[in-house]
Amino acid sequence: MFNKVNLNGAKDLISTAEKVLNSGSSISRRSYDERVRLMQEIHEQYSRFQDGECGSFNSTFNTLFRSKFEAALLTIAVSFNKANEECSEVPGQYTDDEISLYEIIERYRVLPSKKELINLLSSPDSGGAAFLQLHYQHIDDLVEEFCNQKNPVNPYLVSYMKKEWEKYDKKLQEVIVELIQDNGLKWFITFIANDMKTAEQIIYNISGGIVNPGNGVQVIDSIMNRAGITTAATDPVTKDTDRGEVRINPGSRSDIKYSGGIENTESEVFGVHIEDSILNRSHVNGGPAIKDEQPALSEVYCPACGTQIQDNAQFCTNCGKKRQNQTSGKKPE
């Protein structure tokens, strides 16, 4: 697999960077001089790695090591940036996009354990609904768009942040799946959304575009697939596309039929505090994290099948194609 490489030597070179990564944003508590010393040390170790001191690794291990070097340097650079400190080691080295994205993902470091998340999201007064809405309606799209952009300025840095984000996102996915299994689909729709259309759209986005609630598609299976969880042989969910209903069958942990009419849920954000200022000042992809409102959706039609797109849906509930800003009010010919 390797061609004359020194894996232990590479691990020694990366050790300082890994200590910085384990510290995360708390590295800012260290003195200015110590952080400068750490950055210089990591720069020197990174250069030795790039010069082939430990040999030439294959692309997988090369990306693994280099992404940690890059992320550690960014971690220290952000600490200077937040304290308005000047450091000659980072003169314009990082873009606003990279710094903003790091700050957003770093806040997910304080996510509670899976068990604690389940308990918090099971409580109607925990603030979990506000957090999940923020995550799936704004943060998730923002991070995914940046991490999947073509030809990034620093692909190794993006690789590290994408891996970290997927770890946190998967944790949330698994918690949601378990809660739906325990409480039924109605729990999720009631808990997270202000109206049925918003809930359908969030489910559609969670599934990666696979789920189309408007057609009675298998919601739980699709969410579980994205979370990397296999379903049981006996499916607890059936659908009635003519009546627009989703039924949790007897034998599952919940026997709930849902056909519309959910309650509004308002609560404070818990746990991970993704502050509005972070979203508003984020320059990811050259614009604010939360986009301006779309034109009146009653005038928008799907460019693929011509179906009118209702309310705040971003995808067609008939064919699944993403909406466009078509405001003529006329169905495409």
> In sequence order, what DSSP letters do the residues of 133-166 get, joined into one string?
HHIIIIIHHHHHHHHT-SS-S-HHHHHHHHHHHH
The first and second tokens of residue 157, run together, are: 């840095």
Closest to 131 (Cα-Cα) out of 147, 141, 120 = 120
Parts of the chain with a pLDDT under 70: 1-3, 91-92, 124, 189-299, 309-333
CB 98 within 8 A of CB 73: no
Do the Cβ atoms of 72 and 25 come closer than 8 Å?
no
Give the global pTM.
Answer: 0.59
Residue 121's pLDDT is 80
Confidence at residue 292, expressed as pLDDT on a 0 to 100 scale: 37
Distance, in Å, from the CA atom of 293 to the CA atom of 216, rounded to the nearest integer, reads 28
Find all residues with CB under 8 Å of 293, minimum gap 6, and list them: none
Q: What is the Rg, in whole angstroms, of the alpha carbon atoms belonging to the chain?
A: 23
Indicate the domain borders of the chain: 7-94, 98-286, 293-333
Residue pLDDT, tens place only, 117-157 = 888 887 767 777 777 777 877 788 888 888 888 888 899 99
Q: How far apart are CA 32 and CA 36, in angstroms?
A: 6
